[in-house]
Chain A
């Protein structure tokens, strides 16, 4: 079942922060975050496994709340290079493939 992402789109000025949410109606085993720039392939950012952990990747970090069946991606002090569409992919066991949300379009302007 496709996870729900919010917001659908967000516009930021350089240096501002953003949060992108990903919710599932089913119990989650893992959450994967990808970023896709226009006309390019999605690129892996990070994976979170059940356990409520938080991970970081430069100024981009994420949390995973297993009980609430949701994950959030945090972008701090945004840069122009952060622009793109962010997808969360959810896995419900170690053997099932990811189901992706519809994406959140992030635009960072100067």
Chain B
């Protein structure tokens, strides 16, 4: 398996634009997590899914953030409209039974 695949690896966008981050989890994993990493806050859990169903989105900062998982092999995190304070590295991770989470390489988002 190629591991968790995220795209794009880097994204630079202007304030106000819509940003969509993509994630392909490891086949067979039943949990998918979206994290945001900044120097100030560290790794923050934004939302997680179990068997494609959103379980807890209390970490999503605002209504500008939304996430979907239409099937077991794909998830998106959307920010609309984006703001400079959204700049961070966004990680997607998947696991089987919440034991060992495998992280993707992350998407470095810069909003200017």
Contact = CB atoms under 8 A, between A and B. Distances in A.
Interface of A: 2, 32, 40-44, 47, 87, 89, 91, 94-95, 97-103
Contact-residue bracket for chain B? 20 to 34
A99 B91 CA distance: 14
Of B44, B48, B91, B101, most buried by chain A (CB within 10 Å of CB) is B101
Dominant secondary structure of chain A at its interface with chain B? loop
B45 A41 contact: no
A97 B42 contact: no
A42 B33 CA distance: 13
28 contacts: A32-B100, A32-B101, A41-B91, A41-B103, A41-B104, A41-B105, A42-B43, A42-B103, A43-B103, A44-B100, A44-B101, A44-B102, A47-B100, A87-B43, A89-B101, A91-B98, A94-B98, A95-B98, A97-B31, A97-B33, A97-B45, A97-B48, A98-B45, A100-B42, A100-B45, A101-B42, A102-B41, A102-B42
B45 A99 contact: yes
Please give me the 8 A-B residue pairs with the lowest Cβ-Cβ distance, nearest first: A41-B103, A102-B42, A100-B43, A44-B100, A97-B48, A42-B103, A41-B105, A97-B45
A99 to B, nearest CB: 7
